[in-house]
Amino acid sequence: MAEKFSFVVDGKSVAVEAEPAMPLLYALRSELGLTNPKFGCGKAQCGACTVHVDGAPMRSCVTPVSLIKGKRVTTLAGLGTAEKPHPLQQAYIDEGVPQCGFCLSGWLMTAAAFLRNNPKPTDAQIRQAMTGIKCRCGTHMAIMRAIKRAAQTLSA
Amino acid sequence: MNMNEISNIARRDFFKTTGALVISIALPGSIESALSQSPSGKPPLLPDELDSWIAILPNGNATAYFGKMDMGQGVDVAVQQIVAEELDLAFERVNVIMGDTALTCNQGGASGSTGLQMGGMALRNAAAEARRVLVERAAQKLGVAADQLRVENGVVMSGSQRITYSDLIGGQYFHHKLEWNKQYGNPLKVQGKATLKKPSEYKVVGKPFPQAVITEKVMGRQKFITDITVPGMVHARVVRPLNAGCALVAVDENSIKHIASARVVREQNFLAVVADKEWDAVRASEALKVKWSPQCNPFPPMATLHDYIRKASFTKKETPVNRGDVDEAFKTAAKTIVAEYEWPLQSHASMGPACAIADMNGDTPRLWTGSQKPHYGRSGCARITGIPLEKMRSTWVPGPGSYGRNEAGDCAADAALISKAIGKPVRLQYMRHDATAWDPKGPAGVYRGRAALDAAGNVAAYDFFAKGFTRQDVATTEADPKDTLAGQFTRFAPKGTLIFQIPAEAYTFENKRCGWETIPAMLERGSPLRTGHFRDPLGPETHFASESFIDEVAAAANADPVAFRLKYLTRERDVAVIKAAAQKANWKSNERGSRGKGNLMRGRGFAYTERNGTVVALVAEVEVERKTGRVWAKKFWCAHDCGQIINPGTILTVIEGNIVQAISRTLLEEVKFDQNQVLSVDWATYPILELADTPESIEIALIDRPEMSPQGAGEPSHRTVPAAIANAIFDATGIRMRKVPITPQRMREALARA
Ligand code: FES
Ligand code: FES
């Protein structure tokens, strides 16, 4: 049975009517038209659907919308603003990281939360923290550079 | 966002006076209105019309119509640079439109890294001709000889006299003919009477320019093919046979009755569900009860795949290189070296499963596709639906990176079939298993090297032989329904092209033979293991074997791998690239790796390859952990000569991407299957390289040859990687790993045997 779920996305209050088991990803993409989180696998294996829920990275493809009721969701589009991109976004732009760009939500949302808790990470910590996030185009080298660059900005 | 909004945005950007819109999804309306002052209307969209390539807008900015597209590697930026250069316009004043059948000529789509090598040349010639025509008009208007005029950022001048492109033609068509070689696709060539600029005159080409689209992507604003909607569309999912080769017997439509608006679409063995809401379509595809015909065991047990290939009869055989008398030379060899190498089936495993939107109804049936071949997708959809080609319009919208003929081509045909059947616009998105298990695969093969050394350690004979599945069970494009699953599941019989490959190198061995054989497909129709082009088709496969083997021969001859290669190479660019890589890595001929000693073993390996005029040499350094068998491809030094460099900024990240993806293919990737189905269905069953296993460093030396044309950089460095890694593993462990992927388990087993 469909129910109504209200929550906040990128600072705006929203409501969707859906089966409680429907993943948040479908609520964001198909019901609300917020398409920057992507469908990559639907199995919590790639990260392409990652958003923040009350500040913590979550794979929206396996998160039932019913669990989000009353919570604060942030997508990649809400991470920074055009005037003030998040330092990670700026670092991604400066390093020219993306090729196709389909993987970005996974890396940026996961790394943003990671850097908040680990402002001065070692290379090894960054590599470990990003376990399970995929990039098929192989932009890994540039990703490393960008995360390190952002860490410098953030801890400066 | 729906398509109307997209067209509005495009319209807005089209009229912007400054700033370039890098990716445009424009509708013809916007072009027509921008160029409305033209008295005699728009000439037909044919390659021999200058207006098919270049438009000068009312404000004097230019739009270039590129019939290939960028797959995230910045080809569009390079085209923008080329056009700006030849037109003498500022980079920012050129806008590139790509991949729309109503706006661009068919230049073959993204294909084999030909974006600049072939696609860019047409635009270069067209832009140069446009400038020539404009300067000639200016000469008439100003009463000055054309050769007395110079152009600066769209202003033609002589002394104090000046006239702008905007004054000369802004908003009007050229109505000017080009010479055209009457070909479409990759071979398309056009030419005017203009002389191209000399490299010494370049102001824009050869300089680094950022890809503006990167900001859009990073800020979460970029709309992908998965993100657009059209009014009235429904959502679809396909339902593939549970076991390969099985026919559809019965569908229980009641099994999805509980899902509002869900319904079945079926044509012969093609099966899909549609629903108004996307999640309902997903649920319906999972809930649908289907009866398929019994299992037919089309595949051999996976563990026997390479023996199966060895024993299979051949469908085609070629010996493209046969020099001297190889067999005779073997008879008197002082030493003979023989080795066999195996490469598995691999999946494109694109980051997102394919998506397409089709509306095969109304006056202008439309297709929106993320496939890299929108012009061919249009033909395929026209044929499978019976809609006349001329009526149909196909528009490319950026999708997840596709690296060749991935499942995006299948998705477009599926969507068209469903849309035609239900009379509505359809958005079809594949699920992960539809992509990993059902995309066309990179072919598996067995490669055998044989070499004869004389008493002095010289190569007396060299014999290389490759055998495997053709690289094209399905063609490189989806223009013919026989090459799509929708076609093969319905009424189109598959017909592949038999094509394989020998190594691309220039070793001057006196007696030299290189040949190949293809073998029959395991399952002819609708096979999840059908082969198709995947990133540098047969490049990593072939050169893993050939460059590993050269290393084995060098070792047998007690020669340094670099010196050994140089001894048999004479072409200046080959020699230069090898020396550059060796120098960059500080390669020392007398230095050896761990050679099997210790727990953390280190080693270095070398490889050199060519691809369509681009030469690459690579040094890899690996660490092999004895206990776990983990191979870390830790450092790379790459020397890269792709002729003229257009944008040195993007080239570096493109090469890095090539290397990283190739590491993944070498160390991890193998499509698993049993006798009836593909078992690699997601990232857990088809893992790719994680950040944790990313190299510590990749250093690149670019060799620029401004006097040459650009030779393509999108793929050549990919094929050099597997052998460089395998050769480094030998230096580290003393073991030759001749089977890809070199997984920790295989490495552990090999170390235990050693
Ligand atoms: S789509 Fe959610 S992790 Fe892959
Ligand atoms: S940039 Fe294409 S998947 Fe990461």
Q: Where do the domains of chain A lie, and which CATH numbers do they carry?
A: 3-78 (3.10.20.30), 87-155 (1.10.150.120)
Q: A48 C-alpha to center of ligand 1: Å? A: 5
| Predicted confidence (pLDDT) at residue B600 exceeds the cutoff of 60 | yes
Residue B4 in contact with partner chain A when CB distance is under 8 A: no
How far is Cα B719 from Cα A138, in angstroms, rounded to an integer? Answer: 15
Q: What is the CA radius of gyration of chain B?
A: 27
CA-wise closest residue to B231 among B9, B367, B424: B424
DSSP 8-state symbol, B147? G
How far is Cα B543 from Cα B608, in angstroms, rounded to an integer? Answer: 9
| Predicted confidence (pLDDT) at residue B217 exceeds the cutoff of 50 | yes
Start-end of CATH 3.30.365.10 domains in chain B: 3-222, 226-295+349-438, 571-753
CA-wise closest residue to B422 among B236, B226, B250, B238: B236
Residue A79 C-alpha from the chain's centroid: 8
Q: Are B107 and B67 in contact (CB under 8 A)?
A: yes
How far is Cα B183 from Cα B179, in angstroms, rounded to an integer? Answer: 11
Residues 6+ apart with CB under 8 A from B109: B67, B68, B69, B99, B371, B372, B373, B374, B375, B376, B396, B477
Q: Taking CB atoms and an 8 Å limit, are B219 and A97 in contact across chains?
A: no
DSSP 8-state symbol, B117? I
Report pTM: 0.91
Determine if ligand 2 sits within 6 Å of the CB of residue A142: no
pLDDT digits (tens, 9 = 90+) for B32-79: 344 443 445 789 999 999 999 999 999 999 999 998 877 666 788 889
| Predicted confidence (pLDDT) at residue B9 exceeds the cutoff of 90 | no
How far is Cα B188 from Cα B202, in angstroms, rounded to an integer? Answer: 25
CA distances from B13 to A12, B19, B75, B95, B326 (A): 28, 9, 20, 10, 63
pLDDT at B113: 53
Query: What interhelical angle do A104-117 and A140-155 show, nearest 10?
Result: 30
Sort strands B270-275 and B263-267 into parallel, antiparallel or unpaired: antiparallel
Mutate to test the interface with B, among A39, A75, A143 (most CBs of B within 10 A): A39
| Predicted confidence (pLDDT) at residue B108 exceeds the cutoff of 90 | no
Q: Are B291 and B247 in contact (CB under 8 A)?
A: no
pLDDT at B8: 31
| Predicted confidence (pLDDT) at residue B212 exceeds the cutoff of 90 | no
Element (H, E) at B459: strand B459-469
What CATH number is given for B226-295+349-438 in this structure?
3.30.365.10
Residue B562 C-alpha from the chain's centroid: 30
Q: pLDDT below 50 — which residues of chain A?
A: none
Q: A-contacting residues of B 424-443, CB under 8 Å?
A: 429, 431-432
Q: How confident is the model at residue B646 (pLDDT cuts 50, 70, 90)?
A: confident
3-state secondary structure of B148: helix
Question: Which of A35, A108, A134 faces B683 most closely, judged by CB atoms?
Answer: A134
CA atoms within 13 A on the CB side of B614: 30
Q: How confident is the model at residue B588 (pLDDT cuts 50, 70, 90)?
A: very high
pLDDT at B29: 35
pLDDT digits (tens, 9 = 90+) for B448-468: 999 999 999 999 999 999 999
Q: Taking CB atoms and an 8 Å limit, are A100 and B694 in contact across chains?
A: no
pLDDT at B39: 47
Residues 6+ apart with CB under 8 A from B176: B49, B50, B51, B129, B133, B192
pLDDT at B70: 75
One DSSP character per residue, B261-297 reads T-EEEEETTEEEEEESSHHHHHHHHHH-EEEEPPP--
pLDDT at B13: 34
Number of residues that make up chain A: 156
Share of chain B above pLDDT 70, in %: 93
Q: How confident is the model at residue B24 (pLDDT cuts 50, 70, 90)?
A: very low
Element (H, E) at B666: helix B648-667
Q: What is the CA radius of gyration of chain A?
A: 15
The ipTM value here is 0.98
Pocket test for ligand 1, best of A46, A63, A136 (most atoms within 8 A of CB): A46
Tell me the range of B85-99, B200-214, B329-343, B360-374 where mean pLDDT is highest. B329-343
Both structure tokens of B302? 């996976």
How far is Cα B527 from Cα B726, in angstroms, rounded to an integer? Answer: 32
| Predicted confidence (pLDDT) at residue B7 exceeds the cutoff of 70 | no
CA-wise closest residue to B411 among B222, B270, B277: B270
One DSSP character per residue, A13-57 reads EEEEEE-TTSBHHHIIIIIT---SS--S-SSSSS-TTEEEETTEE
What CATH number is given for B3-222 in this structure?
3.30.365.10
Mean predicted lDDT score pLDDT of chain B: 91
pLDDT at B112: 53
Quick one: CA dihedral B324, B330, B331, B333, positive or negative? positive
Q: Are B635 and B620 in contact (CB under 8 A)?
A: yes
CA distances from A155 to A88, A116, B151 (A): 12, 10, 49
DSSP 8-state symbol, B304? G
Bond preceding residue B695 cis, omega within 30 of 0? no
Share of chain B above pLDDT 90, in %: 83
Q: How confident is the model at residue B25 (pLDDT cuts 50, 70, 90)?
A: very low
DSSP 8-state symbol, B412? H
Question: Which of A102, A136, A140 faces B694 most closely, judged by CB atoms?
Answer: A140
| Predicted confidence (pLDDT) at residue B14 exceeds the cutoff of 70 | no
| Lowest-confidence region among B298-307, B549-558, B641-650 | B641-650
pLDDT at B36: 40
Q: How confident is the model at residue B147 (pLDDT cuts 50, 70, 90)?
A: very high
Is the domain spanning B571-753 CATH 3.30.365.10? The answer is yes
Q: How confident is the model at residue B332 (pLDDT cuts 50, 70, 90)?
A: very high
Q: How confident is the model at residue B244 (pLDDT cuts 50, 70, 90)?
A: very high
Determine if ligand 1 sits within 6 Å of the CB of residue A45: yes
Burial of residue A114 (CB within 10 Å: 0-12, 13-18, 19+) is: buried
